[in-house]
Structure formats: structure tokens, C-alpha cells
Amino acid sequence: MALASLVAIAGCHRQADAPGDAPGNLQVESGEGRVTVRWDQQPGLTYWIFFQAGASVTAAAPGVPLIFDAQSPRVVAGLANLANDTQYAFVMNATNQDSKAGPSTPVVLGSTRLAGKIWTPGVPLAPQNLNGVALATVAVSGISTSRLVAVGDAGTLLAGDLNYTSTNPPGVTAWTQATSVPTGFVSDLSAAASDLSQFIALGTDGSIVTSADGNTWTSKAPIPNSGTRMNSLAFGLVSSVTATYVAVGDGGKIFTSTDLTAWTPRASKTTNDLYNVSFPKDTFVATGAGGALLTSPDGSTWTVQTSNVSTALRGTAFGTGSTAAGASYVVVGDAGTILTSPDGTTWNLTTLSPPLSLRGIAFGSRFVAVGQGSTVVYSDDTSNWPQAPSNSGDLAAIIPTPAMYVAVGASGANAVSK
């Protein structure tokens, strides 16, 4: 009897059998300073990822970095030399409860790369044109969440939580319509922005709506634009202290506000339609028809800059690039027009060939510009601009997010690059 009890107890503590097969369908997707590892995950197993730079790796070898209890998909971040297509080798195995490791997968290779070159289009989000996109950190049930808002014609307001590993839709967990908007609000929305605490959307009729979470929107004081079409909105911290909102429109109209309640018209010194305003680096930059290019340190006093072009200018960004070219402002526009400047005063022209029309530009780790006909171009030195088709349709606006770019455009077009 005693012997039987001992045998039973020993049986209860017998080590579980190791998995008989290696993890299936191991894939490694390249990304900016990171990769995404995916496999066919089975219930009840604990998965291990082993990786190192180079072309080979052995599971459980001394000194090899590992990730324990991984869930698919798993982002492996913090990889070195993200600008240089550095190759990494990955291998996986699994354990069953407290078992020994099962068979290892074949080695799969992946590499780091800068975002902006490879694009994934999403299913159109709406029948309406999407004209602006903004990113902010919002509180959801007490948890900080990075959320995107896309705005467009006929009062279109969409929100989506940033999700690097999501493939359908790409880049976000899901895009959803706003849950609450002002009664009867159907204004065409030309731009979206964030002031770190809320989203702001601008209507072409001068209307302003705001939201703390991207879902519930309320009306603010409209811009007294006297029927002038309003095209763009920017937020900037003047002297790193004073919150300033700037809106621009047709006929060279410029308005500013510090509270989204009182709007003050400003002398822009141009009658050209202004299509875009941004705050890329300690200064507001407004661009528009006929090569219009204006700068302002505070949104109130504007200086007309000499662009030496007559094509419409559509957007501005500032960045250092990933090469030793130095920091630059970059302005893009119609007919492949690209202007660069180290100081916002002296501008140099580059023209794309073919002359693709560009509608927006952003800087994350490199300059990336989007435009008509699924056009995307990117640059690490502000001189060379390779094409990177998005296969999404016309794109109107782009924003950088951590290790990824998100762009939106005509008829609900959307695409991401990572």
C-alpha cells in the first residue's frame, strides 16, 4: 500500500512531455529598429525566441539574447543600426509546462530598416475624402493610449488606437466613427491637429470642433472668416510657453487664438490662397498658391519668404535626416516641387522627375512626402528622393508615429509604412 502511494505521488510530479514539433510558420517582418515575429501559436505551450545579429543563431547557446513566454505577434525592439538594414537571425522552440524544450525551428532572417520605403495600403475607411490626420495620447479607462484621428469631408471623424502589429486595418486596432458630434454637424473638415491634451478639427467654413478622446466632439467658437474657405490648422508652443493656434485659408487669410475661443485676424502680406500651416521647428510656416511661403515666430507677425517658384506649395516639415546633411526645413508642392532651407529664409529648389504632385510631408526618422496617384517619396539627405508607391490612391496627409508613418487621402485612402 505504501509503495503504491509513493508511485502515485511520483507520477503526479512527472515532468510533462516536450512538444513534438517546432513552432510552425515562423515569420520575421522587418521594421525600424525592430522586427515583428509571428508564428502559429498553440494553446498551453510556452514559446522562446532566440536571436542575434548575423546569419545564424542556436537556441539556448551561451550569450544569445532570448525572449521567454512570447506571444504572437511579438515585437523585438531596440535593435541596433536601424538605418543600415542590419541582419538578424531568429530561431524558436517551445516548452510544455515544465518540460524540456521541443524541436527548434529553422533559422529565419530579418533586418532593420527605416520606415517610409515599404507601404501597406488599407481598405478605404470612408467614401469621403480624408484631408487630415493627428496623433495624441488619450486616457482610456485610466490607461494612456496613443490614438489617431482622421478627418474629412461631410463631417467625417474617425478614431483608431495605434497598433504597430495590426495588419487589418494596418497600423491601428480598428477605425471607428465618432460616437458623439454636435447636432447637425456636417462641415467639410480640412485639417486635424493635437495640442497634447485634445484633438482639434477645422472646417472649411471656419467651424472648430474638439475632442479629448477622438470619439466625443464638441463645438468651439468658429473662426470669423466671412465665408472664406479655411484650409489648415496648426498648434505651436511659442517660446516653449505660449500655446498658439493658427488657421489659414483662401485669400491669404490668417487667424490666431490662444484658447480656441477668441480668434484674431493677422496681416499675412499676401492675397494668395494659403493651403497649409505647420509648426515644424520653433516657427510657424504657411504655404500656398503661386509659391506663397511665409514664416512667423509667434503666429502674429509674418514674413514673406522668397520661394522663387510659382507652383502651389502644400506642406512643410523639419528634420535632420539620417545622413550628415544637417537640419533642414523641407516644403513640398505641385509639379514635383521640393524646397529646402537650413534656416527658413534661403530656399533651394529640387524638382522630382517625373514631376509628381505632393500634398503633405512629415519627418520621423527621414523625410517622407505623399501626394496624388499613390505617390510617396522619401529622403535621408533632402537631395535624393526615391519613389515608394503606396498603392492606396491619392494621399493628402501624413503623420509620423513611433517607428511608423500613417497617411490618409481621397475616398478614405489610408496606408502605413514601417
Give the pLDDT band of residue 15 (cuts 50, 70, 90).
Answer: confident
Q: How far apart are CA 365 and CA 31, in angstroms?
A: 12
Q: What is the DSSP letter of 382?
A: S
pLDDT for the residue 321:
66
3-state helix, strand, coil in the chain (%, to 5): 5, 50, 45
Give the model's confidence band at 4: pLDDT under 50 very low, under 70 low, under 90 confident, else very high: very low
Please state the φ and ψ torsions of residue 72, each to the nearest 5 degrees. -85, 135
- Write out pLDDT tens, residues 107-166: 999 999 999 999 999 999 999 999 999 999 998 888 899 999 999 999 999 999 999 999
Q: How confident is the model at residue 92 (pLDDT cuts 50, 70, 90)?
A: very high
pLDDT of residue 82: 57
Instruction: Read off the pLDDT band of 324 (50, 70, 90).
Output: low
Average pLDDT over residues 18-33: 96
Q: How confident is the model at residue 81 (pLDDT cuts 50, 70, 90)?
A: low
Q: What is the pLDDT of residue 394?
A: 96
Task: State the burial class of residue 196 (Cβ atoms within 10 Å of its Cβ: 0-12, 13-18, 19+).
Answer: exposed
* DSSP code for 291: G
Instruction: Place 326 in a pLDDT band, splitting at 50, 70 and 90.
Output: confident
Give 184-233 pLDDT, tens digit per residue.
999 999 999 999 889 999 999 999 999 999 999 999 999 999 999 999 99
Mean pLDDT of the chain: 93
Put simply, whether the predicted model's pTM sits higher than 0.85 gets the answer: yes
Domains and CATH numbers, the chain: 12-111 (2.60.40.10), 119-417 (2.130.10.10)
Do 91 and 50 contact (CB within 8 A), yes or no? yes
128 is written with which cell numbers? 469621403
Residue with cell 522586427: 35
Residue 264 pLDDT greater than 60, yes or no: yes
Its sign, for the CA torsion 123, 129, 134, 138, is: negative
Rounded CA-CA distance 194/175 in Å is 18
